[in-house]
Amino acid sequence: MRSNSAAVLELKNISKSYGDIKALADIDYTFSLGIYGILGPNGAGKSTLMKIISQSIKQTSGEVLYNGKTCDRSFLNCLGVMPQGQELYPKFSVNEFMFYMATLKNMKTKKAKIAIPKLLKVVGLADYRHRKIESLSGGMKQRLLIAQALLNDPKIILFDEPTAGLDPNQRVEIRNFLAALAIDHIVIITTHVVSDVETIADDILLMNKGKIITSGNPADLSDAIYGKVKEITVDDKELACLKNHPYTIIASKQDTKIIRIISEDSYPDEKIVYPSLEDVYSYYIKE
């Protein structure tokens, strides 16, 4: 269900306003083949951006270009979307749901009959095709939603919070599947869970208050703040004075605690540690 043709998606000065509220402000970015993670807190503008790319809503200003051309209705044929909180029909079987979604996407019945069994096999649901959706686990439901997003062999696939509501094992299962799609697709994942994209994304976009704060591959983002993440030992009084800096308690020893802190200040006996993507997120995103 893959294609070797290249694809380039460009966002040029995308802004979106609702009255006096600016949901997005001058978003510029170019996506090519690979996985992109868009990280940010709730209200950062992630879902709004996805809705603009998928043409669910119209931007106030700016352009979305696909392979150098302004996107029109035909662009939807190149797009697969798994929106956050997509409606599932519990009484439908897996097969019935897939054929229903194929109909909504104007797929020919002959093509759907060939594509659906292949997709269900790809997502590991071939043996469950006659099961009612209400009987599926959370991970299975998410994989079913991924399968419907792949109908019509899209070149660009949008996933909005794909692991929402899943347990840790199910999150790993979905991440591994998404990673396999990256070879010849543009895969864009929005989430506020750093671990969802830390190990699979080629590039990360950090968003807050409608803007891209910074972007780059995870290693470069971590390198950029090297020296600002330290492990230090403090007592309770010293800890109370550090409330303006993001920190995590690593261990407690009687009257002291070992903490991991993000700060440009210097501390006695500090140990510089390599920043994780969680550290990068905490450094740039001030909620």
Distance between CA atoms of 15 and 228, rounded to whole angstroms?
Answer: 33
pLDDT at residue number 177: 79
Average pLDDT over residues 35-52: 92
- pLDDT for 199 equals 87
Q: What's the pLDDT band for 5 if we cut at 50, 70, 90?
A: low
Q: Of 58-67, 81-90, 207-216, which range is least confident?
A: 81-90
Instruction: Please compute the mean of the pLDDT values over residues 256-274 and round it to a whole number.
Output: 93
**Phi and psi torsions of 274, nearest 5°:** -75, 130
- Banded pLDDT at 1 (limits 50, 70, 90): very low
**Domains along the chain with CATH numbers:** 9-92+147-216 (3.40.50.300), 223-284 (no CATH)
pLDDT category at 3 given cuts 50, 70, 90 is very low
Q: What pLDDT, in 10s, does the model give residues 241-255?
A: 888 888 888 998 878
β-partners of residue 206 are 39, 214
Residue 258 contacts residue 233 (beta carbons within 8 Å): yes
Give the mean pLDDT of the chain. Answer: 89
Please tell me what DSSP assigns to residue 101. Answer: H
What local confidence, expressed as pLDDT, does residue 173 receive? Answer: 79
Quick check: 277 and 194 in contact, CB under 8 A?
A: yes
Q: Give the tens place of pLDDT for each residue, 94-125.
A: 999 999 999 998 899 999 999 999 999 888 89
Pairing of strands 211-216, 203-208: antiparallel
